[in-house]
Amino acid sequence: DGGITQSPKYLFRKEGQNVTLSCEQNLNHDAMYWYRQDPGQGLRLIYYSQIVNDFQKGDIAEGYSVSREKKESFPLTVTSAQKNPTAFYLCASSRTSGSLNEQFFGPGTRLTVL
Amino acid sequence: KNQVEQSPQSLIILEGKNCTLQCNYTVSPFSNLRWYKQDTGRGPVSLTIMTFSENTKSNGRYTATLDADTKQSSLHITASQLSDSASYICVVSAGREYGNKLVFGAGTILRVKS
């Protein structure tokens, strides 16, 4: 099956801990994205990567870090510096970063800080 | 400021009835507009994409309209089914000179009752 997978589906974190969310795609897409979704708000872009070994900050990058060592993988680390990390995190990919290219989304990871 | 406003916030209709969801945007310059369907706890899935020159586009029982002059779009759902219960998100893409940035609306939550 081609698609995007995210793991875990649910994640619980204690305050002060770093956690890493996994995102893998087998669509051979160049571009990958991380979004955060909060109730009553539109998706907000955290980081994006147009190509391997390159990534750019989105609108709300503070407290997050990413890496893009392989084309198919784009993990997101939520650090202890992120003040309010409880949210639904969505990973997406597209063939390129061009605007007409559809972004395909993974199933999401719900992160809860205890 | 680039914004996408959707109305209503939520809607309940009876199975078999039609409904129309609204999207107003201030994103400029405009490249294209997509409607996504997001089931609870899942990632969004694209329904339609419309560029500046397109007024109407259909995908089965979903019909999207675009008025680029008034910066308004609508999504009409015909003969609703229980499986249409979801959040519907309007997404507007700015032009290439703005990095093809996507601006997401907060979504309309639709519930179809039997």
Nearest residue of chain B to residue A58 (CA atoms)? B101
- Min Cα–Cα distance to chain B from A15, Å: 24
The pLDDT tens digits of the residues spanning A26-84 come to 999 999 999 999 998 999 999 999 999 999 999 999 999 999 999 999 999 999 889 89
Query: What are the DSSP E strand ranges found in B1-114?
Result: 4-7, 10-14, 19-25, 30-38, 45-51, 56-59, 62-67, 72-77, 86-94, 102-104, 108-113
**Reported confidence tier of residue B97, pLDDT bands at 50, 70, 90:** low
Q: For all residues of chain B together, what is the average pLDDT?
A: 93
A23, A48 Cβ separation under 8 angstroms: no
Give the per-residue pLDDT at A114. 86
Is A106 in CB contact (< 8 Å) with chain B? yes
Q: Does residue B99 register a pLDDT over 80?
A: no
Residue A78 near chain B (CB below 8 Å): no
